[in-house]
Every structure is written in structure tokens, then in C-alpha cells.
Structure 1
Amino acid sequence: MALEHTTAYLLLGSNLGNREEILDESLRLIAENIGVISKKSSRYQTEAWGKTDQPVFINQAIAVETPLSAIEVLEKALEIELRLGRIRIEKWGERLIDIDIILFGDEVINIEHKLQVPHPQMQFRKFVMEPLNEIAAEIVHPVLNLTISDLTKKNIDNLAVKKL
């Protein structure tokens, strides 16, 4: 019997070092450790959100077909971040790599101080919604019951997000 797979939507971001190379290596390690990458958005240059006095980010959304649970995907993502040199110094600070779980199938998960899916701030962040909309426009947010396309249209975040 084949293992069940869930489609996890992840957002990758980097604003330090060779950002393109770091994202490429992240994709390789995700494919090796989490699952098959079935979709990739374009890469977007985005202004920093939350803490704005830092270099611009390159962000990319991906869909991954994974046999892992959401918590296992989180653990693997954190391992990949560490392997690529991520050091957590301050909230929303600059980073070599950030891998966030945005959606995990149609699951709603709330493990306090560890994992919230759907990502609780996704609909407010243009740097999340623009790349996600490119690969998942018709996916319905399991809490807000609106498509990614509709949420993207309603987004009022005015930070610059530019397709590369």
C-alpha cells in the first residue's frame, strides 16, 4: 500500500549571502528530506517585513508532496535551516534562510509556541501571498474559506514585492 502524501506549501526566504544559491540548496535539501517538489513559484524580491532596516529578501513559494506529518516537516525544515547556517538572533531579523509552512493540506494545526497552520499572518503579508498565489490560486484557506487568489486581491500590504 502506498503512503499517503499531503501537499505542504512552504515559503522560502533569504536576505543574506548568495540568496539565489541558498534558495537552490534549500530546494535540493527539501527534495531530499521532505518530499517531491511539485510546484515552484517565481522568485520575488521583497522588502523586509516587521523589521525593515535590513537587506531585501528573495522569497519563493513551493508545493511539496510529503509523506511526513506537519510537525515532521517543521523539524526537517529547521534542520535544513541549521545545516545552511541559520542563526536565530532576533524576531524578523536578517537570515540566510527561512523556511515556513504556510499550508499543510487542508489541516488546521495549533501547537502553542511551535506550529500554527495555516500560517496565522499569511493573508496580511504580500511577500507570502504573491508567490503562493502563483502556484496555489484556487486552494481554499481552511479557516478563512477564501481562495488564495481572493485573499491576494484583498491584501493591503504595501511593501514592494517584485517578480525576478
Structure 2
Amino acid sequence: MTLVYVALGANLADPITQLDNACNALSLLTESDVQVSSYYRSRPMGEVVQPDFINAVACFNTSLSAIALLDALQHIENSQDRVRLERWGPRTLDLDIILYGNEQFATPRLTIPHIGMTLRSFVLIPLFELAPELILPNGSPLSGYVTQALQDELSVIETSVA
């Protein structure tokens, strides 16, 4: 079993319900409990005008390989009507593998750790909530990336139900 962290985000079609449904679907990928951070509101990245996002991070143990987990996450996205029209555009659901154990690798389909994780408040803050003592695969403590400015970018909107 491998401990994984998955970022969740949505800004269309009742985002809180989208995240709740995704958390329920994630529970089918593990034989253990899924831990989920609080839900946070964040501003969208990029230049596309769109609603704010609701974000969270989930962690769980899985026996799936990283690519099989990616496939499973994309299946969950598709089952919740995810449509990929534009980069950083609005979406019903976005699920990204942030960490897969302590592994580091890059393939055409998947980079682990997630390439932008240390730059995104909507990933770092919920991840820090779940694992404040986490040491990243590069040997750096997660806490070294969490600043007050990043924390101020987000607001907690709801504790997850998963």
C-alpha cells in the first residue's frame, strides 16, 4: 500500500457537492479511511473569468500504481461531467495526484510530485492541514513552503463530510 495525496477542486455545478461526491468515490480506491482537509475557497489561476474554486486535499493508502490511480481519478472526473475545454478554465471537478508515497518521477502523462504543488496555496494549505510534519520527497519539510501570505489567500468554507 502506498500513501497518496490527491488535490480536489471544482467551480461549476455545485462545487461542494462535486467535492463531496469525489470524496465518496475516492473511498472506493482504498481499503482504509480517506482523510480529507477542510474545504477552501480560492481564486482561479490564469486569465479566464470564472467563479472561485472550492479546493481540498485527500489522503489515503492505495494498492494502485500511480498510472492506475491517475486513470481512476480521470474516470471519477469524467463521471462528474468533467470537460477539458481550456487550460485553467472552469470545471466540475479536478483531481490531481500531489504525492505518491515518496516517489519522484516524470512521464508524459504524470509528474510526481505534482509540478506546481509548492507554488499553489490551494494545495499547500489543505495538505499542511492534513500532514503538518510531512517531509517532501526532495527532503524538504512541507512547513517550509507554508507562509502566512499563502494562508491569507484562502478562506475555509466547510469541513468536508468524507
Same topology, TM > 0.5: yes
1:163 is matched with which residue? 156
Q: Distance in 2 between matches of 1:146 and 1:54?
A: 34
Q: Distance in 1 between matches of 2:105 and 2:132?
A: 21
Q: Distance in 2 between matches of 1:20 and 1:102?
A: 20
SS of equivalent residue, structure 1 residue 11? strand
Q: In the TM superposition, what is the alpha-carbon distance from 1:138 to its structure 2 partner?
A: 1.3
Which amino acid is 2:34 matched to? S
CA-atom RMSD in angstroms: 1.7
| Residue 44 (str. 1) matches residue 37 (str. 2) | no
Q: In the TM superposition, what is the alpha-carbon distance from 1:130 to its structure 2 partner?
A: 0.7
Which amino acid is 1:94 matched to? P
Q: Distance in 1 between matches of 2:37 and 2:151?
A: 20
Match of 2:18 among 13, 22, 42: 22
Q: Distance in 1 between matches of 2:110 and 2:150?
A: 24
8 A contact 2:4–2:62 mirrored in 1: yes
1:55 is matched with which residue? 51
1:50 and 1:66, CA in 2 relative to 1: closer, same or farther beyond 3 A? same
8 A contact 1:6–1:66 mirrored in 2: yes
Q: Distance in 1 between matches of 2:26 and 2:91?
A: 18
SS of equivalent residue, structure 1 residue 27? helix
5+ unaligned residues in a row in structure 1: which ranges?
none
Q: In the TM superposition, what is the alpha-carbon distance from 1:159 to its structure 2 partner?
A: 7.9
Q: In the TM superposition, what is the alpha-carbon distance from 1:119 to its structure 2 partner?
A: 0.6
Which TM-score applies when normalising by structure 1? Answer: 0.89
Which TM-score applies when normalising by structure 2? Answer: 0.90
1:101 is matched with which residue? 97
8 A contact 1:49–1:159 mirrored in 2: no
8 A contact 2:133–2:143 mirrored in 1: yes
8 A contact 1:124–1:156 mirrored in 2: no
8 A contact 2:7–2:97 mirrored in 1: yes
1:124 and 1:7, CA in 2 relative to 1: closer, same or farther beyond 3 A? same
1:148 is matched with which residue? 142
Q: Distance in 2 between matches of 1:74 and 1:159?
A: 31
SS of equivalent residue, structure 2 residue 126? helix
Match of 1:110 among 106, 118, 128: 106
Aligned length: 156
8 A contact 2:125–2:151 mirrored in 1: no
8 A contact 2:26–2:34 mirrored in 1: no
SS of equivalent residue, structure 1 residue 43? strand
8 A contact 2:12–2:92 mirrored in 1: yes
Which amino acid is 1:95 matched to? R
